[in-house]
């Protein structure tokens, strides 16, 4: 006797699962311009590499003990490969009751995807398209339930200090899946197609009494540009998957491995002539920060994270002589490059990312200080500054700062770390202090200025006296600060990153400070 009949039933169940929520649900998904969950898995995976687990979880319909139909749960999980590297992949299936948790399948003993990624030390990728919990499940269960979800979500928190975690928002995402979007190291949503919120328009109507469209409530204009809950915006699903591939390419599979080195064809001794005049002598003029950044890193290697949020800082990943690095630069075209609460949040996450996955950090600094003013106070700039100081001082990865222009006050202090492998260079265009001379003179010499016959002339006299002391070479005479030809920046950073590899080797393992999203 053989098990042919049972294998036929297995194939029947798999066929039902591949039908997802049925023709009607699939048609609705495509009408919204979205791929189905199976199409998404094929789009992000290397061909033929997806291996599903828990694929038989769902709800069967029987007649005389014979299977007549099988409805899978609204989540597909498995192991796949992305650019030749294995990852754990989960994908919500909105065609099955909006991807909610009421489509069958309890809390069995089989290891969930999040714990599997943690135990197997593999990157974790979520493709989110789910409505979260549903009251429909109460009728199916015959009761309500206590919200004890942290029983398994604890593994998703632990993952952040162990493996790269990526979330893609690919539809209207509510409840726990909405929180899973920022519970990651990198997140992306699709323009005009993605929304996140703890509760959608019907919940808002019931709770607050007003009508709102889901796009107005939680669209990309909110979460990519204002809240910062999602990092990047993709023009379509294909772009989202490409961004995921790019992000993962800079990181190791887990904190116990070194980040992979990439192409080394860009000359480490390349000296860009444009850097000599990149910083304008007239400090009232602006400049192209991204052009400076790109002149320093390997060509075409900069991957920007959260480009529309906290725009006073550009931040992301790049390569220097093939080695992955985190890199940030002040952007004078937004807030005059002053660090506000949003920019500080972005910086904190980049520092944590580099420290967690043992990647050197490069800071290109033109820091006028923390953003001042009433709105900045309302947002809690002091607490944001305190968080930045704590994050900087707690970090351990090799860090190099190049002072391009200003470095003032406590925000400037956050470009310096007093411990570990830290190196600082300054361009001749650098200037520094506790605050700007113009504003500082008006405060420090207020009595003397007000008592003068010509207060304005007195203020200018004092400022000129102080400006004479502002040469970076005077500081170098006293402190030993190294000042470099701007054209030397790339060769010196390549040398620093090369030397950093031996330090990074010694730091492999779980970070001493847990990653906080």
DSSP label of 335: G
Residue 172 tokens, joined: 């209207």
Task: List CB contacts of 375: < 8 A, sequence separation 6 or more.
Answer: none
pLDDT confidence band for 494 (50 / 70 / 90): very high
In the predicted model, what is the mean pLDDT of residues 345-349?
Answer: 97
Burial zone of 109 (CB within 10 Å; 0-12 exposed, 13-18 middle, 19+ buried): exposed
Distance CA 425, CA 267 (A): 21
pLDDT for 352: 98
pLDDT digits (tens, 9 = 90+) for 22-49: 778 788 888 888 999 999 999 999 999 9
pLDDT for 313: 97
**DSSP E strands, 338-451:** 361-367, 399-408, 422-426, 431-433
Residue 312 tokens, joined: 């006073």
Give the DSSP H/E element, type plus range, for residue 316.
strand 313-320
DSSP label of 279: S
pLDDT digits (tens, 9 = 90+) for 124-136: 999 999 876 555 5
At residue 106, does pLDDT exceed 60?
Answer: no
> Side-chain half-sphere of 169: how many Cα atoms within 13 Å?
36
Entry field: residues in the chain: 517
pTM for this structure?
A: 0.91
At residue 491, does pLDDT exceed 90?
Answer: yes
Beta bridge partners of 317: 303, 326
pLDDT digits (tens, 9 = 90+) for 191-221: 999 999 999 999 999 999 999 999 999 999 9
pLDDT for 411: 94
pLDDT confidence band for 142 (50 / 70 / 90): low
Which has more confidence, 267 or 109?
267
- Considering only the C-alpha atoms of the chain, give the largest distance between any 2 of them, rounded to a whole number of Å: 111
pLDDT for 58: 82
Which has more confidence, 348 or 146?
348
DSSP label of 261: P
At residue 145, does pLDDT exceed 70?
Answer: no
Please state which of the ranges 191-200, 358-367, 470-479 shows the lowest mean pLDDT: 470-479
Contact of 191 with 222, CB cutoff 8 Å: no
In the predicted model, what is the mean pLDDT of residues 352-379?
Answer: 96
Distance CA 146, CA 109 (A): 20
Distance CA 233, CA 223 (A): 10
Residue 259 tokens, joined: 């980040």
pLDDT digits (tens, 9 = 90+) for 319-335: 999 999 999 999 999 99
User: Alpha-carbon torsion 72, 75, 78, 83, what sign?
Assistant: positive
Contact of 50 with 89, CB cutoff 8 Å: yes
pLDDT for 158: 96
Task: List CB contacts of 377: < 8 A, sequence separation 6 or more.
Answer: none
At residue 416, does pLDDT exceed 60?
Answer: yes
In the predicted model, what is the mean pLDDT of residues 95-119?
Answer: 72
Domain boundaries, the chain: 4-249, 273-427+484-507
pLDDT for 136: 57
pLDDT confidence band for 96 (50 / 70 / 90): confident
In the predicted model, what is the mean pLDDT of residues 179-200?
Answer: 96
Give the DSSP H/E element, type plus range, for residue 314.
strand 313-320
Contact of 367 with 415, CB cutoff 8 Å: yes
pLDDT confidence band for 52 (50 / 70 / 90): very high
pLDDT digits (tens, 9 = 90+) for 230-254: 999 999 999 999 999 999 999 999 9
Question: What CA–CA distances, in Å, run from 174 to 42, 181, 186, 198, 216?
Answer: 25, 10, 19, 5, 14
Distance CA 202, CA 222 (A): 19
Most confident of 4-13, 115-124, 126-135, 466-475: 115-124
pLDDT for 26: 82
Question: What CA–CA distances, in Å, run from 46 to 84, 249, 431, 440?
Answer: 7, 14, 50, 58
> Side-chain half-sphere of 253: how many Cα atoms within 13 Å?
14
3-state secondary structure 215-235: HHHHCHHHHCCCCCCCCEEEC
At residue 343, does pLDDT exceed 60?
Answer: yes
pLDDT digits (tens, 9 = 90+) for 430-448: 998 755 656 555 566 677 7
Instruction: For the domain covering 273-427+484-507, report its CATH number.
Output: 3.90.226.10
- DSSP secondary structure string for all residues of 64-118: TTEEEEEEE-SEEEEEEEETTEEEEEEEE-TTTGGG-TTSS----SSPPHHHHHH
Task: List CB contacts of 317: < 8 A, sequence separation 6 or more.
Answer: 247, 250, 302, 303, 305, 324, 325, 326, 327, 359
pLDDT confidence band for 473 (50 / 70 / 90): confident
User: Topology of 4-249 in CATH?
Assistant: 2-enoyl-CoA Hydratase; Chain A, domain 1 (3.90.226)
User: Can you tell me whether residue 63 is helix, strand or coil?
Assistant: strand
Mean residue pLDDT across the chain: 90
């Amino acid at each position: 006797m053989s098990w042919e009949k049972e294998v036929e039933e297995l194939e029947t169940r798999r066929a039902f699962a591949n039908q997802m929520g049925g023709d009607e649900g699939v048609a609705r998904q495509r009408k919204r311009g979205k791929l189905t969950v199976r199409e998404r898995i094929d789009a992000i995976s290397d061909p033929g590499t997806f291996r599903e687990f828990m694929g038989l979880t769902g709800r069967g319909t029987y007649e005389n003990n014979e299977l007549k139909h099988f409805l899978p749960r609204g989540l597909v999980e498995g192991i796949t490969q992305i650019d030749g590297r294995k990852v754990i992949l989960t994908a919500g299936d909105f065609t099955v009751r909006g991807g909610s948790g009421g489509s069958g399948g309890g809390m069995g003993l089989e290891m969930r995807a999040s714990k599997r990624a943690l135990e197997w030390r593999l990157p974790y990728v979520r493709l989110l398209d789910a409505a979260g919990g549903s009251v429909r499940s109460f009728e199916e269960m015959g009761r309500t339930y206590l919200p004890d979800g942290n029983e398994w979500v604890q593994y998703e928190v632990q993952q952040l200090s162990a493996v790269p975690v990526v979330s893609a928002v690919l539809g209207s995402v509510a409840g726990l899946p909405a929180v899973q979007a920022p519970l990651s190291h990198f997140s992306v949503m699709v323009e005009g197609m993605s929304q996140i919120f703890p509760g959608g328009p019907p919940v808002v109507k019931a709770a607050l009494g007003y009508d709102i469209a889901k796009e107005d409530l939680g669209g990309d204009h909110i979460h990519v540009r204002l809240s910062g809950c999602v990092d990047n915006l993709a023009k379509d699903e294909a772009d989202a998957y490409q961004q995921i591939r790019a992000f993962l390419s800079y990181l190791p599979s887990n904190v116990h491995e070194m980040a992979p080195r990439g192409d080394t064809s860009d000359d480490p001794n390349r000296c860009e002539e444009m850097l000599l005049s990149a910083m304008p002598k007239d400090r009232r003029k602006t400049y192209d920060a991204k052009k400076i950044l790109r002149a320093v890193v390997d060509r075409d290697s900069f991957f920007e994270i959260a480009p529309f949020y906290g725009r006073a800082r550009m931040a992301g990943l790049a390569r220097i002589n093939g080695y992955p690095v985190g890199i940030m630069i002040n952007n004078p075209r937004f807030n005059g490059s002053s660090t506000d609460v949003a920019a500080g949040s972005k910086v904190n996450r980049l520092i944590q990312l580099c420290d967690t996955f043992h990647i050197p950090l490069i800071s290109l600094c033109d820091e006028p200080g923390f953003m001042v003013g009433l709105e900045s106070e309302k947002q809690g700039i002091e607490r944001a500054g305190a968080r930045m100081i704590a994050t900087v001082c707690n970090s351990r990865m090799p860090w190099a700062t190049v002072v391009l222009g200003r470095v003032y006050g406590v925000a400037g202090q956050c470009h310096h770390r007093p411990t570990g492998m830290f190196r600082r260079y300054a361009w001749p265009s650098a200037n520094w202090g506790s605050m700007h001379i113009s504003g500082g003179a008006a405060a420090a010499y207020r009595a003397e200025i007000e008592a003068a016959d010509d207060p304005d002339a007195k203020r200018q006299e004092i400022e000129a006296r102080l400006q004479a002391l502002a040469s970076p070479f005077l500081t170098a005479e006293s402190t030993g600060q190294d000042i470099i030809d701007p054209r030397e920046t790339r060769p010196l950073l390549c040398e620093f990153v090369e030397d950093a590899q031996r330090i990074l080797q010694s730091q492999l393992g779980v970070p001493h400070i847990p990653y906080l999203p």
